[in-house]
Every structure is written in C-alpha cells, then in structure tokens.
Amino acid sequence: MDTQTRRHKSDNRGRVTERPRCIEPAATPDGQLMNTRDAAAYLDMSEAWLREGRRPNPRVGRTPPFSRFGRAIKYRRSDLDAFIEQNLKRHH
C-alpha cells in the first residue's frame, strides 16, 4: 500500500479529494481501545496534540488518559467521552 492511499486520497495537484475517515460515537463500543489516529479523529484534534500531551511536561495542557502496551498507545472511548464532558464550557 502506498503512503498516499494510507493517509488520504488527493488529486494530481495535491488537493485532498477524500477526507480521512472519522469515527462516529456509535461505531466504537464503550470498552474498545483506539490508537492515536482514531482518538484524534474522535476528538476532532490533531495526532500531534495527543502526542505532545503524553510528554512529561506537555505544552498543550491536559489531554485524555492513555495506556501504553509496549510501544503501542491506546485510548479508551469512555475516557475520551469523560474528557469531553470535563472540558465542556457552560454558559451561565
């Protein structure tokens, strides 16, 4: 598989013609683990933002909790949903 197919499809001028897939909440069971790419898509944030948040002293502020299995980083959907709820700004 070539890198263009793996990332996203673009025309011969480099314009994106098909957006990368996005995970819908109903498509991911509560206990399922997501990799960084899927978690970033679920949160509508960048992978770089999540990577930076895993550093010991992140410059991006608080990010969702994660698990490390060897080199693999995984996020639970329930943790991502809780992170969204904790960061909601409500108008009074």
pLDDT tens for the chain, 92 residues long, are 444 444 455 556 665 555 444 444 445 566 689 999 999 999 999 999 999 999 887 787 789 999 999 999 999 999 999 999 998 887 66
Name every residue whose Cβ is closer than 8 Å to that of residue 48 and which is 6 or more positions away in sequence.
Answer: none
Q: Quick check: is 10 in a domain?
A: no
Distance CA 43, CA 67 (A): 17
Q: Which has the closest alpha carbon to 43: 7, 3, 4, 80?
A: 80
Q: Is residue 13 part of a domain?
A: no
Q: Is residue 50 part of a domain?
A: yes
Q: What is the pLDDT of residue 32?
A: 86
Number of compact structural domains in the chain: 1
Query: Residue 29: inside a domain, yes or no?
Result: yes
Q: Is 8 inside any structural domain? A: no
pTM check: above 0.75: no
Q: Could you tell me if residue 2 is inside a domain?
A: no
Owning domain of residue 59: 20-86
Angle at the Cα of 38 from the Cα atoms of 34 and 41, rounded to 5 degrees:
140
